[in-house]
Amino acid sequence: MALLVMLAGCASTQEADERQGFNFLQVKAAPDSFQGQPAIFGGKVLTARRQKDGTKIEVLQLPLDRSMRPGYDLTQSQGRFIAIYREFLDPATIPPGTRVTVTGQVSGSVTLPLDETDYTYPVLTISRVQVWSAAENLAPRIRPYPYMGPSPYWGPYWGPWPYYW
Q: Give the pLDDT confidence of 105-149 residue by residue, as tens digits.
A: 999 999 999 999 999 999 999 999 999 876 654 555 555 555 555
The letter for the amino acid at 56 is: K
Position 86 pLDDT exceeds 70: yes
What are phi and psi for residue 108, nearest 5 degrees? 105, -145
- Considering only residues 61 and 20, tell me which one the structure prediction assigns the higher pLDDT: 61
Confidence of residue 12 (pLDDT cuts 50, 70, 90): very low
Bridge partners (DSSP) of residue 148 are: none
List, in sequence order, every residue forming a beta bridge with 114; answer none if it has no partner. 117
- pLDDT, one tens digit per residue, over 28-71 is 999 999 999 999 999 999 999 999 989 999 999 999 999 899 99
Distance (Å, rounded) from C-alpha 109 to C-alpha 82? 8
Check residue 21 and give its pLDDT. Answer: 78
Find out whether 127 and 103 touch, Cβ atoms under 8 Å: yes
Domain boundaries along the sequence of the chain: 30-136
| CATH architecture under which domain 30-136 falls | Beta Barrel (2.40)
- Is residue 61 within 8 Å of residue 80, measured between CB atoms? yes
76 CB neighbour count, 10 Å cutoff: 13
- Residue 139 β-bridge partners: none
- Can you list the alpha helix ranges (DSSP code H) found in the chain? 2-20, 24-29, 134-138
**Res 101: pLDDT:** 96
